[in-house]
Structure 1
Amino acid sequence: MKKAKIIIKDNAPFSLDFDDYYFNSSDGLSESRYIYTNAFELNKEKTIVAELGFGIGLNFFLTLKRFLREKKDKQKLFYVSFENFYIEKEKLREIYQTLGFYEEFKDWLEPFLQAYPYCKDGVYRFYFQDSFLDLVFGEAKEKLQKLDFKADVWYLDGFAPAKNQDMFNEDIVGLVAKNSKKDTKILTFSAASILKKSLLAHGFEVQKVKGFKKREMIQAIYKGLELEDKFGYFKTPSLKNPPKKVAIIGAGIASASLAYELSLRNIQADVFEKKDSLGKGASGNINGILSSLILKPNVLLGEFSQYAYIEASRFYRQVLNLQPQGVYEFAHNELMQERFDSQKDNVLFDIVKHQAFLRDGMCIKPQEIVKTLFKKSGANVFFEYEFLNYTYDEKFTLYFDRERVLKDYDVLIYAQGASAREFLNYKFMSLSSVRGQCTHLKPFLKNTHALSSKGYVCPINDEINMQLIGASYDRLNQDEQLLEEDDKSNIENIKEFLHDEKLEVIGGKVGFRSYSSDRFAIAGQAYDENFYLQNYKGLLWHKNKVQKRPNDFLPLYFSIAHGSRAFASAIVCARAICSMIFDEVQMENDFLYALHPARFLIRQLKKGKV
C-alpha cells in the first residue's frame, strides 16, 4: 500500500504518481454517471458492483446515491473496490469541499471518513443503508487472486492504459474474469486496444460505444465459463434457494453478530439458548478488552488477529457508536519483546520499547454488546431451550429438551461456544474447553486505558463501582464455582501494575472458552467427511492440481472456537458465514481457508496420513 501523491489541478484531482487526472476536469459527476454509475440495470435483489481504482470514491458515492433513490423492497448493494494508492482522510474531505461535491455526499462521506482505515493492506467493510462497501487496499493482482466473488458489473477505472498499463493487462483481466459471472458487464472510459485484446482473450464479448465527450469507449459482456482452482476443497457449495428461516444455537457474541448480519439481509433468526438469560456464558463478563495478538510479521495467526481486531473495532464504531479509548499491551518476556520489535512499523501498533499502544483497542462491556446486537437484529431469542439434535430432509427439524420440536429451518448455525464440541463428530477436529475466571475487585487503579500483560486490568466500571482483572486459563478444570486460588493467580499476574494498593476481591465470573488445536476460530459450512476422504485421498500427490468442488452439503454452519478474543473474531466470522450463505464477497482466501472446518482433515490428506 502506497500513499498517493495527489494535487488539485484545473479544478480536478490529479495524480502525480500516474501523471493523469482521476476524472474529467470540467464535469466529473456527469462523466462518472455516463460511463459507470448509470450505465447498467439496477433491478436484481442483490447487485455486486466491483471496481478497479477507488480513487476519491466518487463512483461509489454516485452508485450508492442512485441505488438508494431507485431501490425497491429488499434490494441490496454490495460494492467492492480495489485501491493501492492511499489518500489521507483529511485530504479526501478537502478534495470534496474544493470540488464542490461535499454537500451532495456529506451524509455518506462523513460516516465513511469516521471509519476510514489506516494505510495498510486489507479488506475493510463499511455499512450503509441496505448497502455494503468492501474497500480493498493493496496490489490489485494479489488481492483479486485472494478474493472470491461474482460481480454483476465491473468498473475499470484505473487511469488511462497508457499511464497505467499494469491495471489493464491480461493478468488483471483474467482475474476480473475469475470474479465474474455469465453476462457480467464491463464498463470503462477506455477504448485502448490493449484492453480490448485482454478482454477478448478471457471470454468477454466487446463492443465500442459513444464515449463521454470523446468518440468511443469500450463495454463488454462476460461469456466465459466458471474457472476451477486447486483449492476446490475449501469452496462452499451455493444454496439452491435463498434461506427464509435460520436457526442459531447459542446466544453469545458469535450468535449476536450472526443475528445482526442476517437481519441486514432481511432474515429474522431464531436463537436458542440453554441458559435462562443472556450473559451466562463466556460472553457474559461485565468488562473485557478488544485487542490483538502481536506476533511476528507474516505469521498467519497474527495477521488474522490483527484483521479481526481492526474490523471489530470499526464494526463497533459504525454499528454501536462505541469509541476506542486504546489499549496498552506490555511485553512481559523476551519472546514477546522480539515480537514487539518486529512490529515497530505496523500502523496498528504504537510501540515504544516494551510497550505497545493499540489506538483502536477498547475496554468493552460484553453483556451490553450482545444485548444491543440482538435488539438491533430483531432476532427471536428462546431461553431455556437445550438443543439435543436435528434431522434434515430439505429442511431442518430441531429437537430440544422437554420433548420440544421445531421445524422448517432452511439453515442451522452452531454458535454455542465451548459446548459445540458435544455435537461435532469429525475425526481430526480437536476442540478444547478452557475454564477462565475473572476477578472483580474494589476499584484500586485509576487507569484510563485497559492494561494487558501477563494478566489484564480494565478501567474502573463506575456503574457498579468495580474493577475487573483476569483471566485464568485452565484446560483441565471444569468447575463452575469461583476458586480463591484463581483470584490469587489473577492478582499475581498484574503485579507489575501494582504499587502498595490493598486489593479487595468482591466477586468474579467463570466462563468456558472453546479453542481449536491451531488457535484459529472455526467458521464455515459443515462438510461431508466421506466425500473428502473419497475425492481428495490423493492430495499428497496432486495437491497443486485443480480439485473438484463440493456441490451439495448440508446447510449447517459453524461459528465456534473463538477462544478469548471472540469479540474480535466473531464479527468477521459472521460476515464470512453470511457471504457463504448468500453468495457475497468473501474475505481473503488465506483467512477463509485458515478458518475452514475441514482444514484439519485436509492437512492429514496432504501428508498422506489418511
Structure 2
Amino acid sequence: MISNAQIHFNDSGTPVADNFDDVYFSNDDGLAESNYVFFEQNNLPERFESHPRRHFVIAETGFGTGLNFLNSWRRFQQRTPTSNLERLYFISFEKYPIKLEDLRQALKAWPSLSDLSEQLCEKYPLALQGCHRLEFENGKVILDLWFGDVQTSMPQIAYKKCGLVDAWYLDGFAPSKNPDMWQQSLFDSMAHLSQSHATFATFTAAGFVRRGLQQAGFECKKVKGYGRKREMVVGQLANATAHQTTPAYFQQNKGSLKNIAIIGGGIATSCLMYNFAKRGVKTTLFCEDSMLAQGASHNRQGAVYPNLQGEFGIPSEFYAHSFLYALRFYQTLANQNYQFAHQWCGVLLQSVTDAKKQQHHKIAASSLYPHQLIKPVSATQAQEIANIDTPYGGLFIEQGGWVSPPELTQAVYDAANDLVAPNSTHFNTCIEKLERKQDGWYLKSKDAEFGAFSEVFVCAGEHSDRFEQTKDIGIHGVRGQVSHIEAGDISQRLSTVICHKGYFTPSQSGEHCMGATFDKHSKSRDVTEQDNITNREQLSQFYKDTEFDKSLGQVKSAKAAVRCCFNDHTPMIGQVQDKADIIQAYQNIGKGKFYDFAEQEYPHEGLHIVTGFGARGLCTAPMVTEHLVASLFDEPLPYSERVHEALHPSRLYIRNLIRNKI
C-alpha cells in the first residue's frame, strides 16, 4: 500500500518531509531554483524551439509538490509559434505522495502558477500504486505520475529500443537523506529509458552520483549551483542502450497513420476517435447501424466501477487505473458542457453469498487500496449509503456510479469532431470484407468499396471476427439482457448502484435498470420474456423480504446485447496477428528458447483490433484506446509493461506456444 508523506511547514512556509528531515524546495525561492537547476540546465528553452519530434518527454525522480512539473508546463506554454512541439510528457516518480490538502497549501507560495496549480489539484490522484495518467489542455500536456518506489517503478515502463526520455530532472531529497534512491540501479534505469543524447540535471555534486551516472553511460560535468550552492552536475547520454522491456512478440508494428478507418459504433469506437483527434488526426468511421451505440453500448444506464481483487495483480492494476482515468475523462467532458446523463452516486458491492463475503473480506484485508477507492461497510452502513433496507454489508466504491452509455458515446464522438472537425462518418454501412493492396487497405460493403487506408481499426464488438484476417482472434459472445422495472415509493429512494450477482441502478424517469443475464457463446440480441423473469427472480432471491423489493412494479421493457470477451477476460488491442506468422517467427518458444527468433513478417500490417471489453467497456475503453494510440505515436504508455503484454493480440498465441498447444 502507498503511504502518504508526513510533512510540516517550517517558519518560512516551506514544506518539510518528516521522514527525510529535508525541504521540498528552497527556502529562498523554490520556483527560481527549479527553473535554473532543471529547466535551464537541461537547455530546454532552446530545445523546446528546435526539437525534431512533436512531443517532448521529461522524466523526474521525486514529484514532491509538483513544482518542477508546473514550471515546465508554464514554460511549455510560452514556446514560440515556430516550435514544432505539440505535446509535453512529464513522467514523475513518487514513493510518498503528499496529501491533497498539503499540496494545496504548498502551492499557495506560487501565485504566478495558481491557474496550473488548481488544475493539478483538481486531478491529483489517490495514493494507489502504479501509473496515473493526468491530462491537461485536451491532452497537450500529460503527467504520468508513478506512485511507488522509483527503483521498482522504472522497470515497469514499456519502451522501444531507442529509448523514451529526452531530459531528466534528477531530483529528490539529498543523497545523505535518501540513500535508498541514489543507487547505481537508478542511474542504469535512467540510461535504459533515455533517448540518444538525452540530458540530465541534478542539484547535487556528490562524487558517487557523478561516478554512477558516468558508469551508466552519461557524460558529466560540474556547473555553478543555484544560490548558495557552489556546484551541481549536468550531462548527456552518449548513446542510447539497446536494452528494452517489451519482448519482440509484444511489440507494436508502426504504420504511417496517414488515412485511418474505424469499424464500429460503441463507446470504444468513440474513445478511439477522440484519442486520435486530440493528436490532430482525423478518422473515417464505418458503422453498420443508423446511429451510434446500438450494440453493447445501448443500455439506458451502465454501472461504472472497477473489478478489483485481493492482490494487486495484472487485473487489479488494469481495472483500478482504467477506472480512475475514465472518471477524470468523463468529468472533463462534463466540465466542457458535453451532455450525458450520469450520476457519481457510488457503487455498493453487496456480500449476498458466503463466497462474496469471503471475496470482499480478502479485498478489505489486503490494504492495497485507499478507502477513497474502495472500503468495507457493514450492513448498517450499507443501508445508510443506499437509503433503502438492504440486509447486507460489503464494499463501497464511492467514486463509481452510472452513466447513459448511448449519450456518453455520442458525447465522446462530438468531442472528437470538435477537436478535428470534420471526421467522416458512414452510417448504415456494413463492412463485409477487408483487402490489403499495394497502396493500403480497402473496405468493402455490399454496394461500395472504400480506401485506400494506411490503418484500419476493427472495433466492432461481437462482429470483430467476421473478417478473414480476424477470424482466429478467439473472441466469444456472452449475451446479456437488462430489464427496466417500474420504481416504487421505496425503491425511488435508492441513492447508489447496488451489485449482487447482477446490478440495480437508482431510478431514472421512474424506472430502474435490473440485470443482466449471462448467456455464454450467444450473439443473439433478441429480447425474451424469460430473461425478464430471470432478472426479477435473481433480485428477489437476495432482497425478497425487504420493503424495497416489495415496492417494485412491473418490468416495462428490456434491452439485450452481446458482451464480447476472451478467455482471459481482458480486452485485445493492437495489430492483428497472423497465426502462421507467429508460429514461424517464434517457434523456438515451444522448445523453451526465448531467443534466436526469426523475423516476423506482419502480413496484416496496418490492421488493428480493438475489442473484448466484456461488461467493462465504460470503465476501460478510455485508457485502453489512449494506450493503443500512444503506442502508435511512439509516446510514453499509460499502462505498465505487464498490462501492455496482457492486452496485446500476440498473447494467446505466445501462451499456447509456451504450453506446446500449437
Q: How many angstroms apart in 2 are the aligned matches of 1:399 and 1:425?
A: 13
Partner amino acid for 1:485? Q
Q: How does 1:502-541 map to 2 (within 5 A)?
A: 502-541=552-591
Which range is displaced more, 39-48 or 432-441? 39-48
**Cα shift readout 1:460-499 (whole Å, capped 9, x = no counterpart):** 113xx33211111112444332100000111112223443
Partner SS for 1:42:
helix
- SS of 2:519's partner is coil
Q: Any idea what SS the aligned residue of 1:469 has?
A: strand
Quote the Cα distance in structure 1 between the aligned partners of 2:323 and 2:314. 14
Q: Given the alignment of the two structures, is residue 84 of structure 1 paired with residue 95 of structure 2, yes or no? A: yes
In the TM superposition, 1:177-576 aligns within 5 A as 177-213=191-227, 214-229=229-244, 231-237=246-252, 239=254, 241=256, 243-321=257-335, 324-344=344-364, 345=367, 346-347=369-370, 348-353=373-378, 354-378=393-417, 379-393=423-437, 395-423=439-467, 429-444=473-488, 445-446=491-492, 447-462=494-509, 465-495=510-540, 496-497=542-543, 498-542=548-592, 554-576=605-627
AA in 2 matched with 1:133: L
Q: Deviations over 1:77-129 (max 9, x none)?
A: 111111111211111101122x2x1x322322223222222111021111111
Matched residue, 2:382: none
Q: How far apart in 1 are the matches of 2:202 and 2:334?
A: 38
Q: TM-score, normalised by structure 1?
A: 0.94
Q: Residues 83 and 569 from structure 1, CA distance in 2 versus in 1: closer, same or farther, beyond 3 angstroms?
A: same
Q: Do structure 1's residue 56 and structure 2's residue 33 form an aligned pair? A: no
Deviations 1:415-447 (A, max 9, x none): 111110222657974211111111112223221
1 CA distance for matches of 2:507 and 2:62?
Answer: 46
| C-alpha separation in 2, matches of 1:428 and 1:479 | 21
- How many aligned residue pairs are there? 604
- Compared CA separation, residues 551 and 142, structure 1 to 2 (3 A): farther
More off after superposition, 332-341 vs 524-533: 524-533
Q: Is the 8 A contact 1:232 1:550 kept in 2?
A: no
**Residue range with higher mean Cα deviation, 560-569 or 104-113:** 104-113
Does the CA contact (< 8 Å) of 2:255 and 2:606 recur in 1?
no
The question of whether the paired residues in 1 share the 8 Å contact of 2:14 and 2:27 is answered with: yes
Cα distance per residue 1:525-584 (max 9 Å; x no partner): 223434432332222455566978869671222220000011112112111101210111
Measure, in 1, the Cα distance between the counterparts of 2:598 and 2:17: 44
Inter-CA distance 237–223: structure 2 relative to 1 (3 Å threshold): farther
Among candidates 32, 36, 39, match of residue 37 of structure 1: 39
1:502-532 deviations in whole A, cap 9, x for unaligned?
A: 4212211111110001111112222343443
Shift in alpha-carbon separation, 1:416–1:435, aligned structure 2, 3 A: same
Moved more, 375-384 or 294-303: 294-303
In the superposition, the TM-score normalised over structure 2's length comes to: 0.87
2:150 matches 1:110: no
- Work out whether 1:69 is the aligned partner of 2:78: yes
Contact 2:255 2:455 in 1 (8 A): no
Aligned counterparts of 2:200 and 2:85: Cα–Cα separation in 1: 25
Flag the 1:71–1:126 CA change in 2: closer, same or farther, 3 A: farther
Note the aligned Cα RMSD (angstroms): 2.3
Structure 1 stretch displaced more, 492-501 or 87-96: 492-501
Report if the CA contact (8 A) 1:13-1:95 is conserved: yes
Q: 1:371-419 CA distances to partner (integer Å, 9 max, x unpaired)?
A: 0100010133221111123333565332232432222322221111111
Partner of residue 27, structure 1: 29
**Equivalent residue number for residue 605 of structure 1:** 657
The answer (yes or no) to whether the contact 1:326–1:450 under 8 Å persists in 2 is yes
What are the superposed Cα offsets for residues 153-182 of structure 1, whole Å, 9 maximum, x if unpaired?
A: 111111222222232211011111111111
Cα offset for 1:335?
Answer: 2.2
CA contact (8 A) 1:439 1:487 kept: yes
Partners in 2 of 1:478 and 1:542 — Cα distance? 38
Select between 20-29 and 343-352 the one with higher mean Cα deviation.
343-352
Distance 1:29 1:523, change over 3 A: same
Q: Mean Cα displacement is larger for which, 275-284 or 289-298? A: 289-298
Q: Distance in 1 between matches of 2:596 and 2:640?
A: 19
**Mapping for residues 148-163 of structure 1, pairs under 5 Å:** 148-149=158-159, 150-163=164-177
Secondary structure of 2:48's aligned partner: coil
Aligned amino acid, residue 661 of structure 2: K
CA distance in structure 2 between the aligned counterparts of 1:407 and 1:211, rounded to whole angstroms: 58
- Contact 2:252-2:574 at 8 Å conserved across structures: no
Identity of aligned residues (%): 26
Contact 1:270 1:381 in 2 (8 A): yes
1:581 to 593, 617, 632: 632
Post-superposition offset of 1:17: 1.6
Q: Which amino acid aligns with 1:338?
A: Q
